[in-house]
Structure 1
Amino acid sequence: MGHGGNNVIPNVHFRKVNGCQSGRNNRVFMRTWLNQAGRKKRRANTRKEKAAKIFPRPAAGLLRPLVHPPTQRYNMKVRLGKGFTLDELKEAKIPRKFAKTIGIAVDHRRRNRCTESLQANVERLKLYMSKLLLFPKKSGAKGVKKGDTPRSELQNVAQNTLKEIIPVPKPQKRIKARAITEEEKSESAYKKLKKARTAAHYQGERIKKAKEAAAKDRRSQG
Structure 2
Amino acid sequence: MAPKGNNMIPNGHFHKDWQRFVKTWFNQPARKHRRKQNRVKKARAIAPRPAAGPLRPVVRCPSVRYHTKVRAGRGFTLQELKAAGFNPRFAQYKSKLILFPIHNKKKLRAGEATEEERKVATQLTSEVLPIRQPAIRTKARVPTEAEKTFSAYITLRKARADARLVGIRAKRIKDAAENPDDVTKAAKEKKPAKK
* TM-score of the two chains, using structure 2 as the length reference: 0.55
Compared with structure 1, are the counterparts of its residues 34 and 133 closer, same or farther at alpha carbon in structure 2 (3 Å cutoff)?
same
Partner secondary structure for residue 89 of structure 2: helix
- Say how many residue pairs are matched: 144
Which letter does structure 2 place at the counterpart of 1:138?
A: H
Instruction: State the Cα distance separating 1:149 from its structure 2 match.
Output: 2.2
For the Cα contact (< 8 Å) 1:64–1:84, is it kept in 2? yes
Compared with structure 1, are the counterparts of its residues 23 and 132 closer, same or farther at alpha carbon in structure 2 (3 Å cutoff)?
same
Which letter does structure 2 place at the counterpart of 1:133?
A: I
Aligned to 2:58: 66
Compared with structure 1, are the counterparts of its residues 21 and 156 closer, same or farther at alpha carbon in structure 2 (3 Å cutoff)?
farther
Separation (CA, whole Å) in 2 of partners of 1:100 and 1:187: 58
CA RMSD of aligned residues (A): 3.9
Which letter does structure 1 place at the counterpart of 2:57?
A: P
Unaligned runs of 5+ in 2: 1-11, 160-195
Aligned to 1:79: 71
Matched, 1:133 2:98: yes
Unaligned runs of 5+ in 1: 1-19, 105-127, 199-222
Separation (CA, whole Å) in 2 of partners of 1:21 and 1:171: 60
Aligned to 1:101: 90
Separation (CA, whole Å) in 2 of partners of 1:32 and 1:44: 22
Matched, 1:169 2:145: no
Percent of aligned pairs with the same residue? 36
Larger radius of gyration: 2
Which letter does structure 2 place at the counterpart of 1:170?
A: Q
For the Cα contact (< 8 Å) 2:58–2:71, is it kept in 1? yes
Separation (CA, whole Å) in 1 of partners of 2:62 and 2:13: 46
